[in-house]
Amino acid sequence: MTEIPEHLLKRSRERRAAIGKGGDATAPAGDAEAGGDAAGAAVEKSATAAPAAAAATGPAGRTAAAEPPAPKPAKPDPQYVVAAKQRRKVPFWAMATLSLMPVWGFMYVRALTEGGEVAEGPLGEGAAVYANCASCHGGGGGGGVGYGFTEGEVLATFPNIEDQIRYVYYGTEQYNLAGVDIYGNPEREGGPHVTGAQGVMPGFGGSLSDEEIVSVICHERYTLGGADPTSEEYAAEFEAWCAEGAPVFEEIATGALLLESADEVEPFDINGEVFFVSPIGPEPIPGTAPGGAIGGAGQPTSQGGNDEGSG
């Protein structure tokens, strides 16, 4: 029989005491041997059980989070969106440049275009004065409340400029008071115009100067009415009344020629010809037919006829 060393027995007793089984120092040798085997087994079991117990009583282990599902693939852009994204963009500074292109084009054309001829003398002044007439006779002389001047209408009514000046000076009211019915050409095609037949012609003798009245009538006859200043019919009239530096107009601009009597009006020399001018006179008188005895080149002044003012 083999004897168990003392140090092993001591270790066994200490282990048993540690696990609460107590230790008996006086146990018989057989028991000691058996106890030694049991102690060895207990020690081995205790050594393996301790980590298991510790593991059983420790915190629960963490589990890995589930991976998120893979995102769905994006829906492809339509072709027109793809084309728009791929199209080259216009730089922001180019937008300002392009917006100024119409202005530059306008300035370029104006720079290459010669300015229109500006009328001087009575025609130039008359165009500005015509603002007083446009409300009734139209901005372009086409007519409205009053008669029109275009397409020769004013010339058909007033073949002689003095008749038109007189009617514009006195107006419908004064013609009615004087008992004058036909203020223009009594032989007018389609019948003469009768005072007051189309609206009331105001008298401008008190609101416009004689110079302004003559200038606006020149504008109505030659700019709007279409009279040809180079024609045999109107050349002398134009040179005397409406041309730049016209002697009759110059005289009116410096005096009171319009209201002078016929005996006080001296004839004018127009390009070597004697030109007689009929004064307006102190009251309305009937107008005259073409070639009548009111003024003109190479004929003395006389009066007769009737006119309806500015149209």
Mean pLDDT of 143-161: 93
Q: Which residues pair with 182 in a beta bridge?
A: 194
Q: Determine the 3-state secondary structure of 275 from DSSP.
A: strand
Give dist(CA 123, CA 59) in Å, integer. 114
Structure tokens at 66: 């589930």
- With beta carbons less than 8 A apart as the criterion, state whether 220 and 154 touch: yes
User: Residue 168 pLDDT more than 80?
Assistant: yes
pLDDT-above-70 percentage for the chain: 67
Confidence at residue 118, expressed as pLDDT on a 0 to 100 scale = 55
Q: Which residues contact 249 (CB under 8 A, 6 or more apart)?
A: 121, 122, 211, 214, 215, 218, 241, 242
Burial 139-156 (b: 16+ CB within 10 A, else e): eebebbebbbbbeebbbb
pLDDT in the model for residue 57: 54
Q: What is the pLDDT of residue 258?
A: 76
Domains of the chain (ranges plus CATH)?
A: 1-39 (no CATH), 121-297 (1.10.760.10)
- Between the alpha carbon of residue 93 and those of residues 84, 90, 222, the distances in Å are 20, 8, 53
**The whole model's pTM is what?**
0.58
